Structure 1
Amino acid sequence: MYAISRRLRRGAAVLAAALVASALVLPLKSAPAAAAIGGITWQDEFNAPAGTPVDQSKWRFDIGGGGWGNNERQYYTNSTSNAVHDGQGNLVITARRENPANYQCHYGRCEYTSARLLTAATFSQAYGRFEARIKIPRGQGIWPAFWMLGRDFGDVGWPASGEIDIMENVGREPNTVHGTIHGPGYSGGGGITGSRTIGQPLADAFHTYRVDWEPNSIRWYLDGSEFFRVDPSRLGGNRWVFDHPFFMILNVAVGGNWPGYPDGSTQFPQQMLVDYVRVNGYVPDGNSGTTRLRGLQSGRCIDIPDANPVDGAPLRIWDCNTTAAQAWTFAADGTIRAMGKCMDPAWAGTANGTEVNLVTCNGNPAQRFTLNAAGDLVNLSANRCVDVRENNPNNGGRLQLWDCAGTPNQKWSRA
């Protein structure tokens, strides 16, 4: 799995960055219109009987004790002693003090075990609402987190893949939740960070931690109340890398550059209880309902040939009209529908040149698209744009997926 850094060389610089960023976001500017949040696209309610292992159709494990780039002290396992259902509607991630002779770490022997669960192999999504209800652990050196990494991490590395930390807490700050983004030029101690401090330790009760993520905006919430917001203007000219699918991670780290290390006051075992994790789709503001989709280059609209909604019908551009063949609906699940079927990349393809056609709606994530503020009609699984093949502006020009380039044959608007 991934042996990656979640916080490279954070140390004291992170604390300073967090304080500065927190100051910058208080008071919050007047909120923009909320993103249109669609239906649930993924969830785990953790309702299995006590002792049931993690559902590996939803979660997989990172395993090992390499310090994870932050000089952490735990060894992550896939054992039910570290991650298991409790039979009361919760996933329990447990950090334990162990016999160091049993676990080899990069610096010698690991004194602690814990678990790190991720959806990299099972689920990823661009945009939407990502929320978990969690009762965090406590104590000096304990570092629970609910966070996300760009699905392209394996190709482009960190931080170019992007990282969104939905919830982090360090034990020495029991009342404070941190939310952060990391990307090229703003990673590690330079991450863009905000926080909220409440009147009692977060570990005393369950709280909901969430982000609402849309093109050019991410907002953080604690118990439904917004406490932090970022957009590309906050990056000082650095690149915004949050327009492609991300996967989720839950873990409890022990020690590390940022939280420091357990001391005589730290009690073990420590447990993080997760009541649920839920993901909702995203419907762009103003893009719900039925509309035609007009191309900037041609002035023509996306059309179903001969108004015949057969599976596999290759979509095209045609003179705009008021027929059902051009009446597209942005559905709450992220699909774009006409004549009872969905816009679809052929055979769930993600490569340049994949034909865009019409297929029976089937729940496959490959059928999710978004029309962003820049006029790009983006397939979220491929992270590529709907493109008119060979720049053909004439009736019958066929559609394909292609790398988003900002060219007129890739620009669309509601008509």
Structure 2
Amino acid sequence: MKRLSVLLLLAGITATAQVKKGKVVWEENFDGKALNEAVWNYELGNGCPDNCGFGNAEKQIYTKTNHKVANGFLTITTKKEADTYTSTRITTKGKKEFKYGYIEARLKLPVGKGIWPAFWMLGADIDKTGWPLAGEIDIMEYVGREPHMAYATLHTKETHGEHANGKKTEFNNLEEGFHVFGVDWTKDKITFYVDDKPVHSFAPKEKTQEIWPFDKPYFFLLNVAVGGYFGGMEVDDSIFPQEYVVDYIKVYSN
């Protein structure tokens, strides 16, 4: 009887931890031979003249040629070419934007000191309101100078930059194979997941625009940066080229 009780308790814990996903609202499986430009935009260059280094003193230049779509995967290849680092940054701004839902991506990370891949979201009104008031949801960030650490972060007017609302969680196998990074986003709460394990939540009682700008549509961004304030000013040039592989992105109702 005692063993049965323990098993039931463990089953209850498993059930509670299980991520709840509704119907698939949208998915990107990268099934073609090129990015679907009805869905994706390219962001090119180094951010200059308006936002050089993309506000973080990053070293890379974004191009249209540092990626490929093949065999159901998007692969972003970050390179060191002479004195230049090249990479890819794409967004769904103005094309695919979502408000609430369970969102996840299956990703294989690049590694090494100076590398900084991300899967994230920005408020669709950013051109009007600016950052950080528009809000930012960083579903996955990884910096190669901190092996095994997965970052989940929210930026708002109230808490942003070095004082952002977030958490880093250690996963010893993070650099091995694919992992699923997700966020459960409702009108009341945001919870981040890595491989279906909850790692960080935010559910403020007060929901002003400065504290909770998460009641409007957001768009996706995928990119790999090099160096910068967060990625680290020291870059190990011997690591390049590095590949960031995206299997899929899915949005579920919740």
Provide the TM-score with structure 1 as the length reference: 0.54
The 3 A distance-change label for structure 1 pair 233 and 194 is farther
Residue 281 (structure 1) shift: 2.2
Residue 276 of structure 1 pairs with residue 216 of structure 2: no
Provide the residue aligned with 2:34 in structure 1.
53
Are the counterparts in 1 of residues 120 and 138 from structure 2 also a CA contact under 8 Å? yes
Residue 180 (structure 1) shift: 0.5
Provide the residue aligned with 2:214 in structure 1.
242
Provide the residue aligned with 2:59 in structure 1.
73
Are the counterparts in 1 of residues 80 and 237 from structure 2 also a CA contact under 8 Å? no
Residue 255 of structure 1 pairs with residue 236 of structure 2: no
Residue 262 (structure 1) shift: 4.6
Task: Summarize deviations over 1:248-288 as a string: whole Å, max 9, x none.
Answer: 11100001001213544641111100010111123xxxxxx
Residue 148 of structure 1 pairs with residue 117 of structure 2: no
Residue 216 (structure 1) shift: 1.7
Residue 95 of structure 1 pairs with residue 78 of structure 2: yes
Structure 1's unaligned 5+ residue stretches are 1-30, 101-110, 283-415
Structure with the greater alpha carbon radius of gyration: 1
Provide the residue aligned with 1:295 in structure 2.
none
Q: Secondary structure at the match of 1:178?
A: strand
Residue 84 (structure 1) shift: 1.1
1:2-401 superposed matches below 5 A: 37-48=21-32, 52-66=33-47, 67-79=53-65, 82-87=66-71, 89-100=72-83, 111-200=84-173, 202-233=174-205, 238-264=210-236, 266-282=238-254
Structure 2's unaligned 5+ residue stretches are 1-14, 48-52
Larger RCO of the pair (alpha carbons < 8 Å, separation 6+): 2
The 3 A distance-change label for structure 1 pair 158 and 250 is same
Task: Summarize deviations over 1:362-397 as a string: whole Å, max 9, x none.
Answer: xxxxxxxxxxxxxxxxxxxxxxxxxxxxxxxxxxxx
Are the counterparts in 2 of residues 178 and 196 from structure 1 also a CA contact under 8 Å? yes
Task: Summarize deviations over 1:71-127 as a string: whole Å, max 9, x none.
Answer: 000001122xx121132x210011111134xxxxxxxxxx11100111002110110
Q: Percent identity?
A: 40
For the aligned residue pairs, the C-alpha RMSD in angstroms reads 2.3
Q: Secondary structure at the match of 2:239?
A: coil
Are the counterparts in 2 of residues 140 and 261 from structure 1 also a CA contact under 8 Å? no
Are the counterparts in 2 of residues 97 and 268 from structure 1 also a CA contact under 8 Å? yes
CA distance in 2, matches of 1:253, 1:161: 22
Task: Summarize deviations over 1:192-248 as a string: whole Å, max 9, x none.
Answer: 011210123x22210000000001200010001111111114999952111101001
- Structure 2 counterpart of 1:194, one-letter code: K
Task: Summarize deviations over 1:8-59 as a string: whole Å, max 9, x none.
Answer: xxxxxxxxxxxxxxxxxxxxxxx999996432121111223xxx22111221
Q: Secondary structure at the match of 2:143?
A: coil
Q: Secondary structure at the match of 2:157?
A: coil
